[in-house]
Structure 1
Amino acid sequence: MNVTLNLTGSAAEFIAGTGMVEHPGTPDEVLFRRYWAGRSVRRYGRGSRHTLTAPVWVMNWIADAIEFLAGSGEGVEASAAERKGARDFMDQVFAAGIRNRCDGPSRDDLVEAGLMDAEPVEAAAPAPVNAEAQALREKAAEEDRKAYESFERCDTDGALSQWAWGVTAQKDRLEADILEAGGKAEFGALFDLDGNLVPAKEIETQFGWSWMLLDERGKCAGWFNASKARNEDTARKNNAKKGFYVGRVRVPAYAKLAGGNICTVMAIKVRKDGGYSADAEVIDNGL
């Protein structure tokens, strides 16, 4: 079961400096860092809020790591902000009904994440981590750190640099996700009513996104506008009346930054095949 909790910037900065994030040495630490890297960050004033959605054991690890900050025992070197951030997080853990400490992820969790073999083996070495993806995540963490330090040092005077580091970190994390998925990502695709892949690619027009149907030369042979109905069943029926289903395929991809201006730039995944390939791996053909 996943839960969503928030950390203040001071508490998150403490966690980011722990060994399980900076230098994970076991599969469960690697999995913890993946969840940690997936958090979202919202900055406000001179602070920030980190929102993390993860299994209970991840929250327990965080709670165990910052629990001493919330106390006031002798020898504890923590700022007032760190203490408050730690106490706030511990209150959330309690409010979420989390009572029992967990040792970490189950074997099934590690198997599903690709960090452990399905069958136990003696003296099995930790599953290898994608080195390129790991390097990108470390680079993204460094970019986040630079943005945070810039804000702490000069507030909004360094807003442009902070923005640039932030969006670059987004791109690096998305690229790492793609690499860990075998260099592929999922995209929408068009299918006929028999479930066959239709030569078509999704194009952004002045009226919104639309499907451009392709002829045997890859040229435009017509257009299909998918239903905008919010209800999935209604949208599927509306599309079927026009002779198509909208499904999903997995194809080679890469990450890039896209957007019309500083307010809309974000990291997006892009197909390497230009929008259509007949040999795409079909995930859902709409049937």
Structure 2
Amino acid sequence: MACDNVSYRITKGEDLREQNYLGLHTVGRGSERPPVLLALDYNPTGDKEAPVYACLVGKGITFDSGGYSIKQSAFMDSMKSDMGGAATVTGALAFAITRGLNKRVKLYLCCADNLISGNAFKLGDIIHYRNGKTVEIMNTDAEGRLVLADGLIDASAQKPALIIDAATLTGAAKTALGNDYHALFSFDDALANRLLASAQAENEAFWRLPLAEFHRGQLPSNFAELNNTGSAAYPAGASTAAGFLSHFVENYHEGWLHIDCSATYRKSAVEQWSAGATGLGVRTIANLLTAE
């Protein structure tokens, strides 16, 4: 990969707050290590006016304690892997480039620790996003969608044909599919079928789960437009998480795929996989990027 084809911008810490990346800043402000947004532009033609074909957005929570909605130890010991979505889209872009990707792609990695401190965000806080959405914090362990929202706003502003976000987002997806499949969500049936065809071609396991208009309205708040987690009244947690993200995608009906990465990491070995990271999904996304 020629360096001439790649440029990047790093925004971190208080610069995020000043530039109104308030989801990412809010989640990461409780750590001594500042939150970071990495925006990378792969532009093989070198033409600054070239259209952006795709934007990839990754959740990069480098350790997730759950914050004040703290995780039990049995669920926290693997949380160094909560950056699996960011790793997946980064690996996919790199692999697509080795396969001859000739279209402009932008990558947004939303990176932070989710820790407890006097500066950490709390239940009842309200986040005001750049697109006008307001979100009430009802669970600090539903932080992934808060950081992804900032990346999706930036991705939408590029007007790409394709937006893919990837995140180790919900326990609900893992409950449904275990560690064996990634969960796929989209309002765009044709695009979802294209990704599933890429997954089949690469022998990687994806399974589409429901995402409907009503899921977008199942995050009620008395004090904001949305809250950041579901409730007992709306138990489809993986679908409501995808519905939440759709509020930050300008044209969510077309060209958007959300991958809830249930299968990026295994706590124990099985016949097919050793313990640890799997890399599952990298080949599928690379295939989709280079298929046309």
TM over 0.5: no
Q: TM-score, structure 1 length as denominator? A: 0.23
Structure of greater relative contact order (alpha carbons < 8 Å, 6+ residues apart): 2
Bigger fraction of residues in helix: 1
Larger Cα Rg: Structure 1 or Structure 2? 1
